Amino acid sequence: MPRSLSHGARIDYDTVAAGYDSQPYRQKEVDAALLAYLERIPAHKWPLLRVLDISCGTGNQLVADKAAITGPSWVGSDLFYGMLAQAQAKDKNISWVQADACGMPFVCNSFDFISQQFGFHHIGPRSMMLREVYRLLRPGGCFVMTNIAPQEMRQALLYRYFPEALDVDLSDFVSPDTLVAMMKDAGFSAVELSLDRRVSQVDLQDFLKKVQPRDNNSTLMIISDMAYADGVARMKRDIGRGVGLHVPTETCILTLSGEKND
Ligand SMILES: C[S@@+](CC[C@H](N)C(=O)[O-])C[C@H]1O[C@@H](n2cnc3c(N)ncnc32)[C@H](O)[C@@H]1O
């Protein structure tokens, strides 16, 4: 199973890289946290800044940032070559570097702003990654992590149809409170956590398209074949029975930031 990949990764992203961007929700707007960081820096100093996106995947965040912001140098790193190949095809003037987030080939104090989006649950020794990010930040620099918080979204449609997925995610996603403690242990100051909870209604037919093919969602690739088949069959039965247009679901997006003292 994917959990036994030799490099310890949760799933093999080389196998999904080519289709990763097919879902519209993979596209990115310019990073609001980066804009907020830049507001604190005089614009004439922006060309001295270095921005790193860890677990950058197919590069969408950095490509959106670079199109909107002139000045900084941009670096994206990811463990999987297939993801970086997709990124490289979008912009050859961004440095795309293959590296495990727990040990990156950069000298100490080399980045002003580091982000990681929807990647932390894939990392092996997580406290090691946080210490590595702290090492790479310049004094005064800022790290911002974004992810879902499964602990706060147990009524999500995904988990109602695939209960095994909730078990997997609760074990792979560190709880928000623990994350804050881990950031402080790694040396970060001004640690801030925000949770953005949203309840919405979705069309079950559209939701079915999100879970098929299965590799649209990394957690669905980890649960048992039986649990996946059972969830899809129940969803199809419900659609057949006319359940469907306004089905409630919930999400919770976690944003965690911290700074390295001057
Ligand atoms: C859900 S994707 C997120 C990609 C991108 N940040 C985004 O928001 O679309 C998770 C990413 O983590 C990467 N990844 C997995 N294990 C990693 C590791 N040990 N070090 C760095 N990146 C890793 C995967 O290759 C994948 O690109």
Best mutation site among 55, 84, 106, 126 for ligand 1, i.e. most ligand atoms within 8 A of its Cβ? 55
- For residue 254, give both structure tokens: 């976690």
Give the Cα separation of 150 and 171 in Å (integer).
Answer: 10
Ligand 1 centre from 103 Cα, in Å?
A: 14
Q: Is 72 in the pocket of ligand 1 (CB under 6 A)?
A: no
The stretch 226-231 carries a mean pLDDT of: 98
Distances (CA, A) of 254 to 47, 65, 201: 30, 20, 20
Residues 6+ apart with CB under 8 A from 80: 9, 12, 13, 14, 17, 98
* pLDDT of 7 above 70: no
Domain ranges in the chain are: 2-259
Give the Cα separation of 232 and 222 in Å (integer).
Answer: 15
pLDDT at 257 (0 to 100): 98
Distances (CA, A) of 225 to 1, 11, 221, 222: 11, 15, 9, 9
Percent of the chain with pLDDT over 70: 97
Ligand 1 centre from 241 Cα, in Å?
A: 38
Pairing of the two strands 189-202 and 247-259:
antiparallel
Mind listing the pLDDT tens digit for each residue in 90-140?
999 999 999 999 999 999 999 999 999 999 999 989 999 999 999 999 999
Give the Cα separation of 57 and 228 in Å (integer).
Answer: 25
Of 1 and 230, the structure prediction assigns the larger pLDDT to 230
The DSSP element (H or E) to which 111 belongs, if any, is strand 111-117
Ligand 1 centre from 246 Cα, in Å?
A: 32
pLDDT at 4 (0 to 100): 39
- Give the atom of ligand 1 at the shortest distance from the alpha carbon of 101: 20
* pLDDT of 37 above 70: yes
Q: Is 87 in the pocket of ligand 1 (CB under 6 A)?
A: no
Ligand 1 centre from 157 Cα, in Å?
A: 23
CATH 3.40.50.150 applies to domain 2-259: yes
* pLDDT of 164 above 50: yes
* pLDDT of 5 above 80: no
Percent of the chain with pLDDT over 90: 91
Q: Is 197 in the pocket of ligand 1 (CB under 6 A)?
A: no
